Amino acid sequence: MGIVLGPLVQQIHLIDWWQPHFVFNTPIKLEDVLFGFSVPGVAIATYDILRSKVVARQNTVPFVLKIFLASITTLLLFGLFCYFGVSSFWSSIISLCIPICFIAIVSPRLIPSMLLTGVFLVILVVPGYLFGIYLNPHWIQNEWLLSNLSGRFVLGIPIEELLWFFFVGAGLSATKEILFSPTRGRNQPPR
C-alpha cells in the first residue's frame, strides 16, 4: 500500500510543502516509491515489536467497517486538500487521526505502542535531516516552501516534518491494527 500511496501523497506535498530535487525526472519518482516502501515498513516493524510487549486482545473488526475507515481516511487525505484548500500537512494529520482515534476507543492499551512508534520514527529521521543540513546548510531553505509552513524549527528542521513522521508512525500502527485484525462476518458471533 505504501508503494502506491507514497507517490500519490507526495504529489499533494509538492504543491504546498516542499519541492525537492529528484534523481530522475520521471512522473513517478524513485525516491517516492522507496519512501513509500521504507517508512511504512519501519513503522509497522517497530509497532509489531512494541505491541508484542502489550497484552491486548485483538479485536475483530467487521470488513465493512475496515473499508469505511480506510475510505474515510483516504478521502480526508486527498479531499481536504483538493476540495477544501486545507494544506497538505493538515490534511495528512487529520486523516491519520481517524485510525488513531478508532484504536484509542476500541483498544486503548495499544496507544502507548502506537505513540512510541511515532516517537521512534522521529528519532530515526532526525540524523538524516541533520546530515542533509550539514552537507548543505541551505538545504531546508532551498527545498521546503517555508512561507507555507509555521516557521518553527527544531534543530533546524521544520516542526511540520517531525510532527508528520510522528503521526505517520502512530497512524500506520493504528491502520495496521485495523486492517489486519480478524474480520467478523455476518454469520459469526462476536468474540
Query: Is residue 54 domain-resident?
Result: yes
* 15 within a domain of the structure (yes/no): yes
Total count of domains within the chain: 1
Span 58-99, pLDDT tens digits: 677 788 988 999 999 999 999 999 999 999 999 999 999 999
Range of the domain at 80: 2-179
The verdict on residue 185 lying in a domain is no
**Angle, helix 159-179 to helix 88-106, in steps of 10 degrees:** 40
Question: Is the CA virtual torsion 8, 9, 12, 16 positive or negative?
Answer: negative
In the predicted structure, residue 187 carries a pLDDT above the cut 50: no
